[in-house]
Chain A
Amino acid sequence: MAICSFLPELLCKFPAIDDGTIRMARKSVDDGFKGFVRSYGNAIDAVVQPLQWFLNYLERVFVGSPWIFVLIIMVAVVYFGSRNVKITIGTALSMVAIGLVGLWNDTMITLAMVTVCTLISIVIGIPIGILMARSDRVQAFVNPALDVMQTMPSFVYLIPVVMIFGIGKVPGLIAVVIYAVPPMIRLTNLGIRLVDKEVLEAADAFGSSAWQKLKNVQMPLALPTIMAGINQTIMMSLAMVVVASMIGVGGLGKNVLQAIANQFFTVGFLNGFALVGIAIIFDRTSQAFGRRLQKHSEVIHG
């Protein structure tokens, strides 16, 4: 305060752009965006409609099937993916526990959501990762975008998503994918860039085309890294479905949200543990599966 009496006003109080101008700018951006949404809303809805169908279909399959079928199929998938009895038994026990506390249906909804989000992230992430690995220019362009996507508080991009798509499952799905796709892209890029230069040279020397090189050399050798990316994407989807419940995604996340609002301590933790349970199942299974794909790299002698 005292110092300010000696300093010119300009150096003491930050010369912010005046409120009127900021309000104008904000209003024109917001209005522009709203106008855009109004004029293209139908088109956008049509584009994302298939997502809605796919999600609804999967949710019906998960929730509608008798629990015993779902459990058997899940255990079978985990066993054939991991070939690990411990993980398989752990899966069966956690799912039974989840059922006993009455969270089976909500868990199924969350599972359907995470499955769809992961698939979409893979479908979007791998091609972008490949493009990035092929060109330094693309990498220089995509990397900062990924940085923003990963550091922006996830609540913030719920705003445009809701403005464009409204409230519901599909907007939630889109928000989750935006949040979960960066590791998929990054690790695909990294995996391909780390492929042994001499092996690539050999592929060139035998006259491989770009596609043959990608299919026979780069993707198979990058697979362990890509698997790590899938694993991270799953984990991030699981984290984000809770946040996305704020815009209308059902399942365990919604219960957590209600528990926060009403201070239901037990309900909150039960749902939280159910999320932890499926996170661990996904994580261990995908890691064990990844390791199994790498069987050939075990050194026996030499």
Chain B
Amino acid sequence: MASHAIEVKNLYKIFGPRGEDYVDVVKKGMGKAELNEKHGHVLGLQDINILMPGGCITVVMGLSGSGKSTLIRHINRLIDPTAGEVLYDGTDVCKMNENDLRQFRRHKTAMVFQKFALLPHRTVLENTIYGLEIQGIERRESEKRALGWIERVGLKGFENHYPNQLSGGMQQRVGLARALTNDADILLMDEAYSALDPLIRVDMQSVLLDLQKELKKTVVFITHDLDEALRLGDKIAILRDGRVVQQGTGQEIVLSPADDYITAFVKEVNRGRVVHVETIMRPLSGNPEGLPLAAGTVLETAARTMTGAHINTAHVVDADGRPIGAIDLQTIIAAMVTPTSHTDRQAA
């Protein structure tokens, strides 16, 4: 039971005073524009089914207004659903009573916000202990724990600064430290990095990936940026007009976009950083030759390793070190520069 996975099932959200009344017409196929025009209700989410595996980063991606914030707010029920369920460890968050919900939010979830949402009248340290403070944990204990996280996110020395005295990137580090200090299984990040400069954003992505290696939390990360999604996401779900249009690994999405909308999204992506060697390897014929490359290596890394060693051929090995296929530099480069079509992928 305790897989720490989050399972969103048949979730609908219709904003407006009589949202429940329109679930059926939406199920029958009425779209967002029509619902708004005819009934004055806003379709937030429709028929969302996503399994967010425990210990993984699940990225929800979509353009502005596609329902990302609405979706993530159902996980800690800052928004109540119109229909459907959100299961965590077998419990439906949507059916919790007020007290259970508060305990769930305190102990199981932590959230990072796009505009940081720090308390301006509290110092970095006082902001960081917020979660523990409202749990009633003793001040000295919570400060000790908070100081550790402040150091981990790179804010040592700024404990007594006020948020307004910090840059955006540093404020979001406070947001992250505050969430991590809560020591919850679920980490919800709603466009946490969207307000940051590109370089600082990449920095913060690295911070998250490093921490995640060790913490193995169930992270739900919202973004409108595909590069960010591909870099962070073990799994990616793409939303459009409140509906999931595709979900899968980054590689699956880049290699076989489900429709034109996603195709347009993935066109500019650097495939070398997304596609894995085993995806384009050919079956072994005879003995494995050249360098061994671990399955899961991305093409760019493979190409760099092979050119660095001045070797043109390599073989791919699985987790146990058994060879499972062969590959050469030419194939790698070809796959990096030309979009792999649907049929190529099936042939491989």
Contacts and interface: CB of A to CB of B under 8 A. Distances in A.
**Do they bind each other?**
yes
Interface of A: 196, 198-199, 201-209, 212, 216-217, 220-221, 223, 296-302
A199 B118 contact: yes
Interface stretch (B142-150, B164-172, B238-246, B305-313): B164-172
A218 B115 CA distance: 18
Given A199-B118, A205-B109, A302 B166 contact: yes
B117 A206 contact: no
A246 to B, nearest CB: 44
Contacts of A205: 76, 78, 105, 109-111, 188
A206 B113 contact: no
Contacts of A212: 134
B121 A206 contact: no
A302 B11 CA distance: 40
B88 interface: no
Given A204-B105, A206-B182, A217-B119, 15 more contacts: A201-B117, A205-B188, A206-B105, A207-B106, A207-B134, A209-B102, A212-B134, A216-B119, A216-B134, A220-B119, A297-B164, A299-B165, A301-B167, A302-B165, A302-B166
A250 B188 CA distance: 63
Contacts of B12: none
A198 B115 contact: yes
Given A205-B111, A206-B110, A300-B165, A221 B121 contact: yes
B283 interface: no
19 contacts: A196-B117, A198-B115, A199-B118, A201-B78, A202-B113, A205-B78, A205-B188, A206-B111, A207-B102, A207-B105, A207-B135, A209-B134, A223-B121, A296-B120, A297-B162, A298-B165, A300-B164, A301-B167, A302-B170
A241 B286 CA distance: 104
Interface residues of B, number: 34
9 nearest A-B pairs in the assembled complex, by CB-CB distance: A207-B106, A302-B167, A207-B105, A202-B117, A296-B162, A205-B111, A198-B117, A300-B165, A206-B131
B107 to A, nearest CB: 8
Nearest to B131: A206
Contacts, number: 79
Contact of B78 (A204, A217, A223, A297): A204
A285 B8 CA distance: 56
Contacts of A207: 102-107, 131, 134-135
State the main secondary structure of chain A at its contact with B.
helix
Contacts of B171: 302
A206 B130 contact: yes
A66 to B, nearest CB: 40
B191 to A, nearest CB: 12
A132 B229 CA distance: 44
B130 A296 contact: no
B111 A202 contact: yes
Interface in B186-206: 188
Contact of A221 (B107, B120, B165, B168): B120
B197 to A, nearest CB: 11
A201 B76 CA distance: 11
A212 B135 CA distance: 10
Interface in B50-107: 76, 78, 102-107
Contacts of A202: 111, 113, 117-118
B12 to A, nearest CB: 22
A207 B107 CA distance: 9
B322 to A, nearest CB: 46
Contacts of B104: 207
A223 B121 CA distance: 10
A216 to B, nearest CB: 7
A210 to B, nearest CB: 10
B190 to A, nearest CB: 10
A299 B164 CA distance: 5
A221 to B, nearest CB: 7
Contact of B168 (A201, A206, A220, A302): A302
A203 to B, nearest CB: 8
